[in-house]
Amino acid sequence: MFRDAVRIGQMVSLAGEGAANHPLVNQALACFDRASAIRLAHTALDMLATATPDQLRTMADAAVSSEDPPTMLAAANEIAVHNQLGGDAVSALAAAAFLLETSRNAGEPAS
């Protein structure tokens, strides 16, 4: 995926200054941002300590898979309450939820 994003950057630079702000380029790069945030959230959830209840882990993972920002934030809050070592997962969930919600509010498809 990183190579694809780099390749898009190379094509845009060859196309000249006007292409950098083209809506399709911005939309393509936003897709890479969303995919990266979702992958980071899944990875952080995989690394949660076993002290986190399985039901909570399942809820958080399902929220990330379905790209559901409100449920991702609710899961982040619950993880913060139940697991003092869950800071990475809380941060990753919150960041992914913010990015997904922001891209939806900007009128971009959520992939």
Please report the pLDDT score of residue 51 as a whole number.
Answer: 73
* Contact indicator for 75, 57 with CB cutoff of 8 Å: no
Rounded to the nearest angstrom, the gap between the alpha carbon of residue 18 and the centroid of all alpha carbons in its chain is 28
Residues 6+ apart with CB under 8 A from 90: 76, 79, 80
Average of per-residue pLDDT values in the chain: 82
Whole-model pTM?
Answer: 0.72
* 42-67 average pLDDT score: 89
Say how many C-beta atoms besides its own lie within 10 A of residue 48's C-beta. 20
Contact assessment for residue 87 and residue 47, using Cβ atoms and an 8 Å cutoff: no
CA within 13 Å, CB half, 88:
11
pLDDT digits (tens, 9 = 90+) for 22-42: 777 777 777 888 888 899 999
pLDDT of amino acid 50: 76
pLDDT of amino acid 2:
54
Domain extents in the chain: 2-105
